[in-house]
Amino acid sequence: MTTATTTDWRERHAHDLMASYAPPLRLLVRGEGCWVWDDEGTRYLDFLGGIAVNSLGHAHPAVVEAVSTQIATLAHISNYFASPAQLQLAETLKRITGAGDEGRVYFGNSGAEANEAAFKLARRTGRPRILALRNSFHGRTMGALALTGKPALQAPFLPLPGGVEHIDTTVEALEEAMRDDVAALIVEPIKGETGVVPLPDGYLAAARRITERHGALLIVDEIQTGVGRTGAWFAYQLEGVTPDAVTIAKGIAGGVPLGVLVTFGAASGLLQRGDHGSTFGGNPLATAAANAVLDVIEREDLAGNAHRRGEEIRAAVERLRSPLVTEVRGRGLLIGVGTVEGASSAVAQAALANGLIVNAINPTSIRIAPPLIVGDEEVEAFAERFGTALAAS
């Protein structure tokens, strides 16, 4: 076995891995809390959190203990059997989503898989049309890509599964498109991959009224916004809305792959035995990790911390008064910094050079999504390093 070194790891990556991603920025070797280190010993403040995945940061003791204990006991058993960790997590998810006793839970491995399950749920209504929003993102598998409102991502893989129509993100467009042959509307409360762009005020509540009137499902994609990141367990709860289904992934298991579909009420009876499945979905290891993550978030009120720290971070960016920054948007610890055209990449690169990890999603947007455990030290370090990056760009 060979070991990557500072002189060869980029070449090895290019030689051995598929070219479906951009070249990696650094070779990271360890992490602790909100910080990571590369192979040369440089320390970085991680304000991307594995793209909103590392809810408890890196190497959190609760996750380390849960995963270590579970893998030494029972890691995988297939869905011919149940495990205590799986049963506990399903019960917890029904409670924190508000699905209640009638709710049901399906476990997969990723956000894309959760949205594939949601796609099938909608198809099971027997209605032919599914509505989604333009500039949305729901994943890159074929069904999830069909739901994604980005034609450039879809073009190389046409034809995609049919029956999906993309509409503008306005109540008027939804009213015009909605009829009794619509199976479902799927929405992200905040369009993360579009630049952290929230839905218009009142849109989600209006979508709930309109879908109910026509007997269509309201499916909320909380893969990037859920699990405390926006200041509540789920962003739809901040709007006082109850969906028919919610998809969850990213932050739920602290970096261990897990995706979830939770259904509410009558929607829980749509998928039948044999309709869907996953070999690894809901295995003891992943569900034990998720139980540990959710327990810490609840005990330490990390959703409340996300709300408070998010306000502090947005205020810190605004105080910098950089001419490169056009707006600051988002909710909790999912923050989008709008920049003048073409500046975002230079700012993100300057930030990395200054020991700060953020993400340039597009030419005019920077995404910030630190762990929910972020505290005073990290907020102060972010403000200093981000300010330096803006000044250097």
For the segment 214-232, the average pLDDT, to the nearest whole number, is 98
**Residue 14 pLDDT greater than 70, yes or no:** yes
The type of residue at 40 is E
pLDDT-derived band at 2, boundaries 50, 70, 90: very low
Residue 369 and residue 47 in contact, taking contact as beta carbons nearer than 8 Å: yes
For the segment 354-362, the average pLDDT, to the nearest whole number, is 97
For the segment 109-117, the average pLDDT, to the nearest whole number, is 98
The type of residue at 320 is L
For the segment 230-255, the average pLDDT, to the nearest whole number, is 98
Would you state the pLDDT for residue 239? 96
Evaluated on CA atoms 262, 277, 250, 345, the torsion sign reads negative
Evaluated on CA atoms 301, 302, 304, 308, the torsion sign reads positive
User: Domain 9-60+301-392, CATH 3.90.1150.10 — does that match?
Assistant: yes
**Residue 7 pLDDT greater than 80, yes or no:** no
**Residue 192 pLDDT greater than 50, yes or no:** yes
What tens digit of pLDDT does each residue of 58-100 get? Answer: 999 999 999 999 999 999 999 999 999 999 999 999 999 999 9
Catalytic site residue from 107, 137, 264, 386: 137
Would you state the pLDDT for residue 5? 53
Query: Would you tell me which CATH number, out of the four given (3.30.870.10, 3.40.190.290, 3.40.640.10, 3.30.450.20), belongs to the domain 64-299?
Result: 3.40.640.10
Omega prior to 159 cis, within 30 of 0: yes
Residue 113 and residue 280 in contact, taking contact as beta carbons nearer than 8 Å: no
What secondary structure does DSSP assign to 98-167, as a single string? T--TT-EEEEESSHHHHHHHHHHHHHTT---EEEEETT----SSHHHHHH---HHHHGGGPSPPS-EEEE
What letter does residue 286 receive in the DSSP assignment? H
> Is 221 annotated in the active site?
yes
Catalytic site residue from 250, 264, 382, 386: 250
> Is 250 annotated in the active site?
yes
Q: Where are the strands (E) in 227-313, listed by range?
A: 245-248, 259-263
Catalytic site residue from 47, 107, 191, 221: 221
Domains of the chain by residue range: 9-60+301-392, 64-299
- Could you tell me the two tokens for 208? 């709930």
What tens digit of pLDDT does each residue of 127-178 get? Answer: 999 999 999 999 999 999 999 999 999 999 999 999 999 999 999 999 999 9
Q: Over the Cα atoms of the chain, what is R_g? A: 21
pLDDT-derived band at 347, boundaries 50, 70, 90: very high
What tens digit of pLDDT does each residue of 18-38 get? Answer: 999 999 999 999 999 999 999
**Residue 4 pLDDT greater than 90, yes or no:** no
> Is 382 annotated in the active site?
no
pTM value is: 0.96
For the segment 44-65, the average pLDDT, to the nearest whole number, is 98
- Could you tell me the two tokens for 81? 């059997």
**Residue 253 pLDDT greater than 80, yes or no:** yes
